[in-house]
Amino acid sequence: QIPICYGNLAYWQGSKAEPTKTHKWTAFIRGCQNEDLSHFIKKVVFNLHSSFDKPKRTCDTQPYEVTEFGWGEFELSIKIYFVDASERPVELFHHMKLYPLDGSTQVKKKP
């Protein structure tokens, strides 16, 4: 068995960014040690906030991730489908975080 990690990374785009694109973010599913998950994951479906163009995003191959620009935090669902059809899909929920939890200053970084 391989543990699966999920979450997001977010990068502030600086004070000159468009008001609706203040952050570049990536939501992901991966092996906790970056293991190859393709031998047991068939696909991953990310359901973003309805304000995004095509909020349902499907990844059939690694990396299982979605990158977008945005300004607000929201809950997204992540549904994992397995190669073994007898395994039921697993649905996870993740709160997309753009801002530091500790209130510290954001640093502009390029992913």
28-55: per-residue pLDDT in tens? 999 999 999 999 999 999 999 999 999 9
* 56 in Cβ contact with 66 (< 8 Å): no
Judge whether residue 110 has pLDDT over 60: no
Identity of the residue numbered 75: E
Nearest to 94 by CA among 46, 57, 22, 58: 46
Token digits of residue 34: 């970056």
- pTM (2 decimals)? 0.89
Q: Of 99 and 9, which is predicted with more confidence?
A: 9
Model pLDDT, residue 106: 63
Residue 99 phi/psi, 5-degree rounding, is -110, 145
